[in-house]
Structure 1
Amino acid sequence: MNQPLDRRQWLRGATLGAGAAAFAAWMPAWAQPVSEGSASPGSAPALPVVTGEDIRLRIARQSVRVDGRSAHAIGINGTVPGPLIRLREGQPLRLHVENALDSWSSIHWHGLLLPSQYDGVPGVSFPGIAPHSSFLYEFPIRQAGTYWYHSHSGFQEQLGLHGPIVIDPAGTDPVGFDREHVIFLSDQSAISPDTLFRRMKRDPGGLNFQKQTLGGLLAGHDQSLAERLKWGGMRMDPTDVADATGAVYTYTVNGYGPLDNWTALFRPGERVRLRIVNGSSMTTFNVRIPGLAMMVVQADGQNVRPVETDEVQIGVAETYDVVVTPTEDRAYTLVGESVDRSGLARATLAPRAGMVAPIPPLRPRPLATMADMGMAMPDGGGGKDAMAGMADMAGGGMATGTDHGDHGGHRVSSGMAMGAMSMRDFGHAPDIRKSPGVATIAPMPRDRTGMPGQGLEHVGHRVLVYTDLVALERNPDLRAPSRSIDVHLTGNMERFMWSFDGEAMSDRMEPIPFTEGERVRVTLINDTMMAHPIHLHGHFFELVTGHGDHAPRKHSVLVAPGGRVRFDLTADAPGDWAFHCHLLYHMAAGMMRIVSVRSPQGVSA
């Protein structure tokens, strides 16, 4: 594949036409002028649908055209994203997948409960699908809800090998609606994913064109000079909230860019169900529809008690179903803003094709706080005074690269050490090997599941948080956990090294062992300054958020920077399962482990 210009270079030379000028307000300053082209006047076609008990899918190379710009891609049955797979709970399913590529491929059925040999992860559950060969996936459909599928081979997912799944319930759907639309969010780039990965490894912050400036200092929009000096002393960049940004990505809805304007139709007064899937490779989306409240009715395919909100932060791999009821005869803009505010996905909800609504300008990009470093004060704060307070508690200033001695048989290094103060003094004693891949340890990680996501703390309207989610039905397993484990999300952002517990995934690494049927409490501790969407294959888990036997059940969870998430897991699926960060390039850099579920006798079923 020839390497094209990156998005910033291309945008710099683009011609600003009348159609594009209207979009300048929502492009970040570094990206103007905007790309050529104009919004499509009509309603974009719906995703193609495949259904039944015997489905054929063909993986092949193709090209795509997004916002008037062509790029190489890998699609399924000739489309990017791939077709919507529509199924019914309780049915049997045979999926014949043909790999027409010259390289190995795979498809993972994200969130589906199935035998491990059909989970679709090369090197974990099966060898993969050889070039110019086929593989038969065969399993019963045991659930209902909104899910998706994607490749687990190399960077094929970034090239477009992904698509949505909708499974209708066997009985009555508790969600009442008159019409539905699938909203498949993604991030598309004309630059090859291998090139993007090399660039991130070489210069992890090189795609961030929203760093603090002298102008921001003088205008009072960014950190004060004293704060900048303190952060600089720790070699931390508070604007580094996303590795891949709008500098190289076009954010899409069902494969269409913001200028293409994919449109979903409705009749005023209808209850419209939007099945929203974050099928991106690297982008956390903040989703809102200005002028319309959203009723959240499902998370990760599991029904929840309806809760009304105005904005939902959706981590990579998560799905949320919302119901909206537009009563006016006008268009609405669905906005999927990237977490770093470097761009947005856009679609239109309208009663007639050709209608458009105003596109809100991008909001100011967020700055990381001391709480994002895991330095929240005992009252839960983490603002500008946190650093001074922590220094006072430690009896000295901040230190970098401090060796904290032996904890559980391993030397521990922290880039955020508080003088000679041990992490044990903060009730946080990780067992992490001293490694160049562990630059920071969060001294005081806190449960942030009841707090708005990064950048949404002061938006002036309702924002969904995990503690808002309550399962519609009673949890299937109410046993107390018999044991607990901690998993640290670790990294060195300056070197783009990512891992669990300080160790990157390798062939020599032992799986995390579980006994079939046991109940385990897992605590995810984010020792980095970046949010990580963590996904466990083959299982659902219950978030520990204070809702007892109606805890929300999920398969993916976004762990806030410096945050802690607890969930209870019933290890009821024998076999080997992937457990990883769903930021594609973080997983590729090593943030992945294997979970092994074995029978009490040590033999998997």
Structure 2
Amino acid sequence: MPALTRRTLLKSSLVAAAAAELGSAGAFAADTPETVLRLLRRTIEVNGKAASVYGIQQPDGTSGLTLNAGDRFRVKVENHIEAPSLLHWHGLTPPWQQDGVPGISGPPIAPGSSARYDFPLRSGGTFWMHSHASLQEPLMMSAPLIIHDDRDRADEQEIVLMLHDFSFTSPEEIFASLRKPKTMAPMAPMQDMAAPGKAAPDLNDVKFDAFLANDRTLADPEIVKAEPGGRIRLRVINAAAMSNFHFDLGALTGELIAVDGSPVVPVKARRFPLAVAQRLDIRLTLPKEAATYPLLALLEGTARQTGLILRAGNAPVQRVADMAGASAQAVTLDLESRLRATKPLKPRKADRVHTINLTGDMANYIWSINGVPWSSDVPPLPVAPGERVELALVNKTGMAHPMHLHGHTFQVVEIGGQRFSGAMRDTVLVPPNGRVVLAFDADNPGWWAFHCHMIYHLAAGMFTTIRYV
């Protein structure tokens, strides 16, 4: 039997096992409470126009979930939309059969059907959930997933801010436009003639109609009330499909205490980089005077911005324009190289190192890993249980790629050839022509996705898997 056929059969059997496991996860005791999440269509207003988007809501209209570390994740997902769907619990480490990637973790949930999930919540933090089916994520099939733990303080006001990029053009039309062959010579926009062999940097290959913070633009922003002198824990989630931001606190200085749900040695600043799929936990102490504070996300390479208004006391609220006074720079790894995990991996030599070349052809909009766009015949990266694994990510393209590993929390251990004990994360940005090394322990057996989290890069092939049992 040819090797490709054996791989296909193996994957078919794994998907079948996942379906059986997902079904058995619903066998709760009669008195065990569960939370219902409904996948649905909803209408929001964007730039004065009605927009039909997706949502993930509890029956009472609450978006997403708030749970506690140490509890079990017992959730029933009901599909009320017109297409199959499946949710990924981004940043959590469930059994692989409940990870929510169609064709890898298990089958999608058919319209009118439901699925149940049951696994332990090992740690707290700021996470999120989103569809991994088709191109549903750009239509805002996502929601916050907040897990409280003993790091949370009773005297802090919690504010969750979720960012999206939005277009009135359907994701399918956007992707088809990106895939149209360009008239330029192949790879022309990705070549830097001044630096042979390196790709010229490129930003924002999709033009969005609006940028949203908690579903709203700055034309009608959310206004969050706070007490003068109060303490705030701000949880910022970049759920944008394609957009990296700088998160700006304006007149306030914040203390970054966690990234991607994992604690870091605190860093004080007024502006923080935030790549696609990453999260920031920022602690604020407000001045004692009544005032308003715009909390803004600036799109890299442009002056476009979105955000919310924090209103302390009865201060008057001034309108904030959706264009900043100057364009923001491209997001870099300057802060990333300074972050230090408070609970790093135990020192250990890597048992296995995989070099992952991030590759692509901008002219034909083909994105790939090690020169191979994803297909079901691409074999998983080999890993053995218990190994310390390092992934050396080398970006050969002119665009940054936020790379996300499912089912594990990894540590950033090298940037540009410099080794250090960096942040624990689940998503790391690899800049154009850059090199980033991440390390993780193979302690959660299964079949896991690893991919660029820019949705059109993922759809065009920058995706692979890791498998061990």
In the alignment, is residue 200 of structure 1 matched against residue 178 of structure 2?
A: yes
Match of 1:77 among 49, 54, 57: 57
Within 5 Å, which residues of 2 pair with 1:177-576?
178-202=156-180, 240-245=202-207, 248-327=208-287, 328-341=289-302, 343-352=304-313, 355-356=317-318, 358-359=320-321, 361-362=323-324, 364-365=326-327, 455=330, 465-473=335-343, 475-545=344-414, 551-576=422-447
Give the letter for the 2:436 counterpart. V
Q: What RMSD over aligned residues (CA atoms) do the two structures have, in Å? A: 2.9
Give 1:149's aligned residue. Answer: 129
Question: Following superposition of structure 1 onto structure 2, how do residues 127-166 of structure 1 map, counting pairs within 5 Å?
Answer: 127-166=107-146
Question: 2:21 is matched with which residue?
Answer: none
**Offset of residue 196 of structure 1:** 0.9
**Alpha-carbon distance change, 581 to 456 in structure 1, aligned in 2, over 3 angstroms:** closer
Q: Secondary structure at the match of 1:56?
A: strand
SS where residue 331 of structure 1 aligns?
A: strand
Q: In structure 2, the residue corresponding to 1:158 is in which secondary structure?
A: helix
Amino acid at match of 2:163: L
Which structure ranks higher in relative contact order (CA pairs < 8 Å, sequence separation ≥ 6)? 2
Q: CA deviation at 1:93?
A: 2.3
Of residues 579, 582, 600 in structure 1, which corresponds to 2:450? Answer: 579
Counterparts in 2 of 1:121-132, with a 5 A limit? 121-132=101-112
State the alpha-carbon separation in 2 of the partners of residues 127 and 346 from structure 1.
Answer: 36
Question: For 2:195 and 2:337, how far apart are their aligned partners in 1?
Answer: 35
Which amino acid is the alignment partner of residue 581 of structure 1?
A: C
8 Å CA contact retained: 2:198, 2:433: no
**One-letter amino acid of the counterpart of residue 244, structure 1:** V
Counterpart CA distance in 1 for 2:457 and 2:87 is 19
Contact 1:63–1:71 under 8 Å retained in 2: yes
Give the count of matched residue pairs.
427
Where 1:349 maps in the other structure, the secondary structure is strand
SS of the residue corresponding to residue 459 of structure 2 reads helix
Q: Which has the larger radius of gyration?
A: 1
Distance in 2 (alpha carbons) for counterparts of 1:114 and 1:75: 22
Distance of 1:539 and 1:235 partners within structure 2:
31
- Supply the distance in 1 between the matched residues of 2:263 and 2:460 (Cα, whole angstroms): 34
Measured after TM superposition, the shift of residue 67 of structure 1 is: 3.4
Distance 1:456 1:523, change over 3 A: closer
* Inter-partner Cα distance in structure 2 for 1:243 and 1:567: 27
Change (3 A) 1:595 1:205: farther
Describe the shift of the 1:581–1:82 C-alpha distance in structure 2 as closer, same or farther (beyond 3 A). farther
The CA distance in 2 between the partners of 1:257 and 1:271, in whole Å, is 25
TM-score where L is the length of structure 2:
0.84
Per the TM alignment, residue 273 of structure 1 is displaced from its structure 2 partner at its CA by: 1.1
What is the TM-score when the length of structure 1 is the normalising length?
0.66
Q: Give the AA of the match of 1:243.
A: D
SS at match of 2:55: strand
Q: Deviations over 1:537-589 (max 9, x none)?
A: 00011111599895421110011111110111111111101100000000000
Quote the residue 2:24 is aligned against: none
Give the AA of the match of 1:530.
M
Identity within the alignment, %: 33
Write the distance in 2 (CA, Å) between the matches of 1:322 and 1:306.
9
Give secondary structure in 1 for the equivalent of 2:457: helix
Rounded Cα–Cα distance in structure 2 between residues aligned with 1:144 and 1:129 = 27
User: Does 1:596 find its partner at 2:464?
Assistant: no
Q: Within 5 Å, which residues of 2 pair with 1:63-74?
A: 63-74=43-54
Q: Aligned AA for 2:266?
A: P
Aligned 8 A contact 2:81 2:111 in 1: yes
| Matching residue of 1:410 | none
